Chains A and B, each alone.
Chain A
Amino acid sequence: MGHSHITNNIRNLRFNRHEMTQQQLADQVGVTRQTIVAIEKGKYSPSLELAFRISRIFNLPLEEVFGYEEGQTSL
């Protein structure tokens, strides 16, 4: 519970992709905007399927969108 060990740089990737909004990303991967907010804040670790879907949106491999670090919060 709370901040997870799964980190991500979704926020930066969104801004670099024509300033995509959280709602737009949520619509494309099939979740609510609140879930995207929770993922970006490190409050929720997405399922593997959702993680892959998010990576596909940015045309990047999973490791460049998500990371695993011991004892750290999200990027």
Chain B
Amino acid sequence: MSYQEKKNIVQLISSTVIFAVYCLFVYLRDKDTTLEGEELFRHWGAVILILIPISIVARIVIEIIFIIIHRIATSEKEPSFADELDKLIELKAMRVSYFVFLLGFLLAMGALVLDGQLSAMFIILLLSGFVSEAAGILWKLRLYRRGV
């Protein structure tokens, strides 16, 4: 398994864990709270905005730990740059990611039309963000394994 494949697997696991832990934290904190109107918008806005820096910081820490463990375990130095193959795979995976998020966005709009509950829309949007990221990573893994 190449370095990029291992890195993508670690990214997939870390994204899943970070998202799951954060969602669980928010759910446990707010499950007995009833919000309406502006408060509801503010709540969901805060949930999404706080998730972003937490994800970034957590992922950087996990990546640093992965690099250290990888160097100790394999004595192999990680690539210091992204070459043409890496950039091509990144672009192709980004396309898949955008498409998946677009589907999620349309689903969120559909939920608004059908159900009318704002919380459902925000939940679907949040999930779409995670699923689109996971789809992108999985596609990268597929391309690294099977070729471009």
Residues of A within 8 A of B (CB): 1-4, 30-35, 37-38, 41-47, 50
Contact = CB atoms under 8 A, between A and B. Distances in A.
Interface in B96-148: 143-144, 146-148
A34 B148 contact: no
Given A35-B85, A47-B84, A1 B3 contact: no
Contacts, number: 44
B85 A1 contact: no
B147 A46 contact: no
B147 A32 contact: no
Contacts of B148: 1, 38, 43-45
Interface residues of B, number: 14
For the residues of B in contact with A, the DSSP-based class is: helix
Contacts of A37: 2
Interface of B: 2-4, 79, 81, 83-86, 143-144, 146-148
For the residues of A in contact with B, the DSSP-based class is: loop
Contact of A41 (B4, B83, B86, B147): B147
Nearest to A4: B147
Nearest to B142: A1
B4 A1 contact: no
